Structure 1
Amino acid sequence: MGVQTALDAVREAPGIIDAMRLADDLAFEAGRNPGVRTLRVLASALNGDDEVTAIAAVHALAGIFDEQAGRMLTGLLSDRRGTIREHAAWALGAGLPRFDAMGRLIGQVAAGGFTGMLAQRTLEQWSSAVAESLTVGLETALLGVREPAARARLVETLGLVRPSIATRLLVGIAANAREHEDVRIAAVAALGQRSGDEGIGAPLEELVGGEGRLADVARLALIDLEALPARRTARDRGLTIAQLFLHADIDPALSSAGAGDNGGIATLLVRLGNALVADPETGVSRVITLSRGPVPQAAVDLLELGSLNEGHVYGRVPLRADPVPSAAAWPLRVTARRGIRRILRAAGQVDLLHLRMADVGSLAAADVARELGIPVVFTVAPDPHAVIQSLDRAGSLTREDFGEVDLREHFWFRTRLVQSLASNAAHTVLFPRPELQRDMNQLVGIDITSHPERHTIVAEGVDLEVIDRAVSDRSAGSGDSGAMDDLRVALSGLPEDRRHLPFVVSVGRLHRVKGMATLVDVWARSGLRERTNLLIIGGDLERPSLDEREQLERIDAVIPEAGRAEAGLILAGHRPNDIASRWLAAVRLGVPGVLAPRGVYVCASLKEEFGIALLEAMATGLMVVAPDGGGPATYIKDGVTGVLTQTWDPVRLEAAIERALDVAALDDDGRVDAAHDMVRDNFTIQSMASALGPVYRGVAVEEAALLKSAGASA
């Protein structure tokens, strides 16, 4: 079609997500038609106010393999716009090493953040070809950088230079007591990846004799250096499946559910792992769930992983001492990759790795799976695609301010990561959606009608036993007295004249995508405040993350903390899943003297790919309000079991909640039974495990056939 035509298509696309998809055509045409004219066309796009088109032009330059295009791309590392500098650092990794870019990329690594991660990734891709020059550049940079965090990032990058030229420097830094502990830790962790290099074992052994984090990391580094044999698990024991979510402290008791990024996915992985190994029909005998955790626990987990061939076991990946929200965790890519590799090596045979998120964990895990030859199953969702589309439609995201938002949300990188993970997966799993084929094609760019045998639709599921027990106990006025005592304490600040009102309730993370602050704002500024109280279950209120703090500040701007209870707003913080289930039952059935019955559940998310908390609320018998796209539209009967609405529109959200309250006030047992039975028949965790079993077995069979055809022993 030609470069100009492709560029015009990007500029004239009806939506931002459409323009992002068309950027691939622009890059293709630029690579197919290099030359002075093409460079001029791209330069004009770079200098315009349309930031979506400008970013597309950056990546188009990366597809042109000539010296002038390379100089232009390198020059963008010094652009006044942060988003252009960031995308230039990323795009350079697609081409050959450029010595004129190396110094500025090293500077970006030292500065840190998401841009630093991209620069480090590009340098790693170049490292084999220019190992000596890169080592010299990093050593020179270290001479002029004193700030510990920046030095640690440079040392970590030095550790990615695989040739042994970097080993001497790393050993010296690890042994240097004058260096900051974080810098020495970066060197020690890097040494653990350099098996075969001489002179590493003795300094690490000496450090292990000490105390604190440095000794703990040195212990893990020695474990990493061990040449573990490839242990094959007997096939009569079934498959070993690994799954991960690194932005949560996942434990069997789900004690941290709802804090930070520890949302529904953490609950799902615990319950799903248990269900997979409990049902012999799935063919799965061992599930390994990876999440973040402290360094000492990581070493303990390795012993269990190496000795257990059955059951649901957990492996912790040590990231940082303090939890980091997912949006800020990208600089932990190398640390995450090393921790994931360590766990999968210790586990022996892992038949496949199931990835679910377009985050740093999946980015790192995909690298490890490729290195170890482990096939990947990827659950594909239009995320962040659906968020971009919602913000675009609401006018909250425009072409002119896209770059600034992208610096924070990393939309462009995450959309490309979804495409990469999906295209390289042995099998993809899809959530049910009303227009699944259309959405996957238009939003993500995946044609699921091509090779349909590689795509399977699997609905998520909930533990219905927990919910039914909560409802039964509340109906009988009995059950977990501790959970009810906690609820009474949480609601104790409500004034007497509000205790006869029903509740609007929402369960989930305090994150802008989940819309908790939006819900508070809509409730507080409308007649809903006179008609109901509002209960939000989720978030770490004592030690909020950056995302949680942003939501809390928005909530405080509407209703200051000191006046929340008086106004009828209760922020209860995160609670274990079984306690949250009992509180949902209480919102529906009421608790005498504490809260009135016939409340409703509201999910104000910008998007909801499926909605575990929604299903739990429906199984409880609550009338629900949910986004009108994605998974909820496939199981909510609008006006009967719930109300579907455009949650990004405050007027429509308010009207939907009013409508749900009207239906809930009728106290219709038929509606309650219909919602419960729908969940029972379609969306239990057991049915989800049963649906995934054939997917996992099929991938394992296909992998065995590949090994056999390649002449390897299965």
Structure 2
Amino acid sequence: MGIQTAMDRITESASIIEAMRAADDLAFEAGRDPGVRTLRVLSAALSGDDDLAAIAAVHALAEMNDEEAARLLSSLLSSPRPYIVEHAADALGRRPARPEAVGRLVRLVADGGFAGMLAQHTLEKWSTGAAELMAVALETACTGALSDDARARLVETMGLVRHPLAVRPLRAWATDAAAASAVREAAVAALGQRREPAAIAALEDIVVEGGVIGDLARLALIDAEPVPSDCADGEGLTIAQLFLHADIDPSLSSAGSGDNGGIATLLVRLGDALVAEPAAVRRVLTLSRGTAAQAGPDLLHVAGGETGHVYGHIPLSPPPVSSAAAWPLRVSVRRGIRRLLRAAGRVDVLHLRMADVGSLAAADVARELGIPTVFTVAPDPHSVIASLERSGTLTRKDFGRADLAEHFWFRTHLVQSLAASAAHSVFFPRPELERDMHALIGIDMSSHPERHTVVAEGVDLEVVDRAVAHARRVADGAEPDAALAELGALLDELPEERRRLPLLVTVGRMHRIKGMATLVRAWAEGPLADAANLLVVGGDLEHPSVDEREQLDRIDTAVPAAERAARGLLLTGHRSNDVAADWLAAARFGLPDRAAPGGVYVCASLKEEFGLAILEAMATGLLVVAPDSGGPATYVEDDVTGFLTETANPAKLIATAERALERAARGDARAASRARDLVADRFTIQGMAAKLAPVYESVARSEAELQRAAELLA
């Protein structure tokens, strides 16, 4: 189509998402015709005020086999626009090493953050062809005046350089008892990627020190061992699944805290269901974050061939960071995932679900170890971008600033990359699924339909039904269990006149995407506060993350902490999944003298790809208020089992909640039964497991056929 036409498609596109997709054509045209005219068009975009066109031009430069284009791309590392610097650091990784850019990339690594991760990734790629240059540059930089964290990042990067020159400084840093702990830990982990006798000897000496550094040295020695051959003992498949940003345990004790949202609950329930079914899955390995002390025993369980649902922890230094801030952990995450998957002996399928640093690192490991992946494709952040653009809070002229915080460009391309490399793609139900996947992500589901499966997520009805039965008995006068007694004590803090009101309930992570603060403010400022108390379940109130703190500050602005009880706001923090189920049931049936029956569940999320908490509320028999797009629109029967609304519009959200309360006050048992039956028929965790097991079998069977074919040619 020509370079100018390709650029016109970006600048004249009807939406941000459309412009981002058109950037691929621009890059193709730049690579096809790397001439003077192409360079002029891209330079003009870089000097203009259209952020999307400028970012697209950066990535197009990387595709040009042209010395002038390479010099221009390198110079962008000094751009006064930080978002251009980030994208230049990323794009340079697709070019051969540029000596004049190494120093600036090293400084970005030292500075840390997302840009540092991108720069480190580029230096890692360059080290395969220019290892000596990388090693000398990094060692020289470490002699300068740096903070401990900055030096640790450079040491970690040195560990990615595959050259004997890197061993000596790594060993010196690892054995220096006077060095900062962060620096020593980075050097110890890096030595685990070496098999030189000097590296092994240093690690063996450090193990004796004990403590955290000793634990890390022990893990590094495991890393240094040769990759074991496939262990094909036993019948059945081994499936690995991952969510890095959660403290996942069988009891789900951290559900709703930090990033421990519905995905953590899902992985626990799904893993149990997969191994309980009379199907092909023998073992499920669920990976999440943890400590070095946890990682050692986990490896013994995994390597010991334990069947059933097994948990493995990827050691990350405290405190936990949110998914948005975790990108700089790419290298340590990759090492932890690789260690666990190697220990498993044989992993037949790795299921990835999020476009985050965990999936980025796990995809690298899967390629290295030859493990096929299944990827659950969701238009995230595509849906968020579209929603923000519709509301007017995101435009193409301020996209760069937003991208610095949210990494929209990188994440959308990561989704495309993970989907393209997956052996099989899984999709959530959506009202216009095929249209949305094509328009937002560029996936044609009609092409190779045998490699695409629509799978609804599911809930554990046994937990819900148990909670409903108990709440019904308590409403009839029975003694409450511990969970409902705790809820009763919380309600006792409200003024007596408010204890005659029903409950609006919302459950989930305290994150701006989930709309907790938006819901509180809209409830507090309108007539809805006179009609119901608001119960917000989620978040770590004692040690909030950055995202949680932002939401709590907004909530405190709407309803100061000292006024919460008097005004009917109950901010409880996170609770286990079982306790949350009990509280949802109590909202439906009420608690004698503390809460009226006829409560309503409200999801104020900006977007919900599926919405497990909504389904749990529906299974309880609660009327729900949910987003009118994404997954909920496929199962909430509007004006029957719930109400769909534009949750980004506070006025519409509150008006819809008022309608739901009015309907709930009439006690429509038939609608409650209909909602529960819907969940039982279509959205149980057992049904989800039954749908996924054949997908895993098919992928494993195809991979085995490919392996046999390759062996015949060898």
For 1:227-626, list aligned pairs within 5 A. Answer: 227=226, 229-235=228-234, 237-281=235-279, 283-477=280-474, 478=478, 481-626=481-626
Moved more, 614-623 or 217-226: 217-226
What displacement does 1:160 show? 0.2
- Is the 8 Å Cα contact of residues 228 and 346 (structure 1) preserved in structure 2? no
- 3-state SS of 1:711 partner: helix
AA aligned opposite 2:709: S
Moved more, 482-491 or 150-159: 482-491
What displacement does 1:501 show? 1.1
Over residues 609-653 of structure 1, what are the superposed CA-to-partner deviations in whole Å (9 max), with x where a residue is unaligned? Answer: 111000000000011011111111111111101111111111221
How many residue pairs get matched?
711
Between the aligned partners of 1:712 and 1:79, the Cα distance in structure 2 is 53
Q: Are 1:683 and 2:683 an aligned pair? A: yes
- Is the 8 Å Cα contact of residues 277 and 286 (structure 1) preserved in structure 2? yes
For 1:663-674, list aligned pairs within 5 A. Answer: 663-674=663-674
Between the aligned partners of 1:661 and 1:318, the Cα distance in structure 2 is 46
TM score, norm. by length of structure 2: 0.98
Report the equivalent of 2:169: 169
- 3-state SS of 1:200 partner: helix
What displacement does 1:673 show? 0.4
What displacement does 1:28 show? 1.2
Between the aligned partners of 1:558 and 1:123, the Cα distance in structure 2 is 47
Between the aligned partners of 1:416 and 1:472, the Cα distance in structure 2 is 47
What displacement does 1:169 show? 1.2
What are the ranges of 5 or more consecutive residues in structure 2 without an aligned counterpart?
none
Between the aligned partners of 1:309 and 1:697, the Cα distance in structure 2 is 20
Between the aligned partners of 2:232 and 2:6, the Cα distance in structure 1 is 52
Between the aligned partners of 1:479 and 1:429, the Cα distance in structure 2 is 45
- 3-state SS of 2:500 partner: coil
What displacement does 1:419 show? 0.3
- Is the 8 Å Cα contact of residues 287 and 313 (structure 1) preserved in structure 2? yes
What displacement does 1:712 show? 6.7
Over residues 244-296 of structure 1, what are the superposed CA-to-partner deviations in whole Å (9 max), with x where a residue is unaligned? Answer: 10100100000000000001000000000000000012x10100000001111
Between the aligned partners of 2:444 and 2:513, the Cα distance in structure 1 is 27
Between the aligned partners of 1:265 and 1:675, the Cα distance in structure 2 is 22
- Is the 8 Å Cα contact of residues 434 and 633 (structure 1) preserved in structure 2? yes
Report the equivalent of 2:651: 651
Which stretches of structure 1, 4 residues or more, deviate above 4 A after TM superposition? none
AA aligned opposite 1:345: R
- Is the 8 Å Cα contact of residues 473 and 479 (structure 1) preserved in structure 2? no
- 3-state SS of 1:316 partner: strand
Moved more, 361-370 or 662-671: 662-671
Between the aligned partners of 1:652 and 1:63, the Cα distance in structure 2 is 47
Between the aligned partners of 2:464 and 2:480, the Cα distance in structure 1 is 13
For 1:73-92, list aligned pairs within 5 A. Answer: 73-92=73-92
- Is the 8 Å Cα contact of residues 116 and 328 (structure 2) preserved in structure 1? yes
Between the aligned partners of 2:241 and 2:480, the Cα distance in structure 1 is 32
AA aligned opposite 1:277: V
Moved more, 207-216 or 81-90: 207-216
- 3-state SS of 1:653 partner: helix
For 1:7-156, list aligned pairs within 5 A. Answer: 7-156=7-156
Report the equivalent of 2:225: 226
What displacement does 1:52 show? 1.5
Between the aligned partners of 1:230 and 1:7, the Cα distance in structure 2 is 50
Over residues 453-494 of structure 1, what are the superposed CA-to-partner deviations in whole Å (9 max), with x where a residue is unaligned? Answer: 100000000000000000011111147611012112332321
Between the aligned partners of 1:221 and 1:489, the Cα distance in structure 2 is 49
- Is the 8 Å Cα contact of residues 377 and 419 (structure 2) preserved in structure 1? yes
- 3-state SS of 1:286 partner: strand
Report the equivalent of 1:212: 211
What displacement does 1:226 show? 2.1
Pair 1:712–1:345, CA change in 2 (3 A): farther
Moved more, 418-427 or 38-47: 38-47
Between the aligned partners of 2:574 and 2:479, the Cα distance in structure 1 is 20
Report the RMSD for the aligned CA atoms in angstroms. 1.3
Between the aligned partners of 1:490 and 1:319, the Cα distance in structure 2 is 35
AA aligned opposite 2:272: N
- 3-state SS of 1:313 partner: strand
Between the aligned partners of 1:631 and 1:460, the Cα distance in structure 2 is 10
Between the aligned partners of 1:351 and 1:97, the Cα distance in structure 2 is 36
Report the equivalent of 1:708: 708
- 3-state SS of 2:544 partner: coil
Over residues 9-53 of structure 1, what are the superposed CA-to-partner deviations in whole Å (9 max), with x where a residue is unaligned? Answer: 111111111111111111111222222221121112112222122
- Is the 8 Å Cα contact of residues 646 and 652 (structure 1) preserved in structure 2? yes
Between the aligned partners of 2:480 and 2:551, the Cα distance in structure 1 is 31
AA aligned opposite 1:482: A
Over residues 41-86 of structure 1, what are the superposed CA-to-partner deviations in whole Å (9 max), with x where a residue is unaligned? Answer: 1112112222122111111111112111111111111111110100
- 3-state SS of 1:144 partner: coil
- 3-state SS of 1:476 partner: helix
AA aligned opposite 1:206: D
- 3-state SS of 1:494 partner: coil
What displacement does 1:524 show? 1.3
- 3-state SS of 2:637 partner: coil
Between the aligned partners of 2:231 and 2:278, the Cα distance in structure 1 is 20
What displacement does 1:321 show? 1.6
- Is the 8 Å Cα contact of residues 356 and 380 (structure 1) preserved in structure 2? yes
Pair 1:618–1:712, CA change in 2 (3 A): farther
- Is the 8 Å Cα contact of residues 145 and 151 (structure 1) preserved in structure 2? no
Over residues 533-552 of structure 1, what are the superposed CA-to-partner deviations in whole Å (9 max), with x where a residue is unaligned? Answer: 11110000000000100111
Moved more, 400-409 or 426-435: 400-409
Identity %: 63
